[in-house]
Amino acid sequence: MKSAVIVFPGSNCDRDMAVALREVTGQPPLMVWHRETELPEGIDLVALPGGFSYGDYLRSGAMAARSPVMGAVRQAAERGASVLGICNGFQILTEAGLLPGALMRNSTISFVCRDVPLKVENSQTAFTSRYQAGEEIVIPVAHHDGNYQADDETLERLEGEGRVVFRYSHQTNGSAHDIAGIVNEGGNVLGMMPHPERAVEPAHGRLDGRRLFEGILEAIG
């Protein structure tokens, strides 16, 4: 599997993502600077990492969504490549229109940083195939603007089409329907606030995030 991690000014989880991908796939990802206008040829997976791109000015992810590289990310998604946005990456995907809705300030108006239980709602995507539907896993979160919101019609569509793939088991940040992660209509673009890359090896204290990357690797072959 050939993967790439997009690096924006202010990204601080790009190395975490790179280590997780290398750990699971055995191949280091290519690190792509946000000013690039094309992705390396043959990329199977594009990862948008967490952090505070552009210092979260305007809105979280708003400026990064307009970086030159996002045109290439959009093209990769359209041709069927897997696109994974974690935390700030999820914010960028919504700002870029690759996923619906928006990530708002946490309802507690405070930064949330802890392990949280998630319920796997849909195990039929490449990202979730190594989980069981209804299974509860534990993944760390670290965000200030993770409160997912969308209009009622969008929420109904996401639920009806099985596009909510992860849900907080307990109220975490005020997200509508306790949504923690969603996919696009094609199922190849996933945005989630929790950090699976921080739960892939024994030193992390848990391995629940590892299966997400294993599922992508298995799907791509």
pLDDT of residue 220: 87
Identify whether the C-beta of residue 67 lies closer than 8 Å to the C-beta of residue 23: no
Question: If we measure between CA atoms, which residue out of 40, 43, 39, 4 comes closest to residue 21?
Answer: 4
Mean pLDDT of the chain: 96
* Residue among 13, 95, 121, 197 flagged as catalytic: 197
* Residue among 34, 143, 144, 195 flagged as catalytic: 195
Q: How far apart, in whole angstroms, are the C-alpha atoms of residue 123 and residue 66? A: 32
Domain hosting residue 80, numbered range: 3-220
Q: How does residue 221 score in pLDDT terms, banded at 50, 70 and 90?
A: confident
Which residues lie closer than 8 Å to 140 by C-beta, 6 or more apart? 113, 114, 115, 116, 194, 195, 198, 199
Summarize the confidence of residues 99-126 as an average pLDDT: 96
Give how many domains the chain has, as a whole number.
Answer: 1
pLDDT in tens, 178-209: 999 999 999 999 999 999 999 999 999 999 99
What crossing angle do the helices spanning 210-220 and 14-25 adopt, rounded to 10°? 60
Whether residue 113 lies in the annotated active site: no
* Residue among 87, 95, 121, 144 flagged as catalytic: 87
Helix/strand/coil for 166:
strand
CATH number of the domain that residue 185 is part of: 3.40.50.880
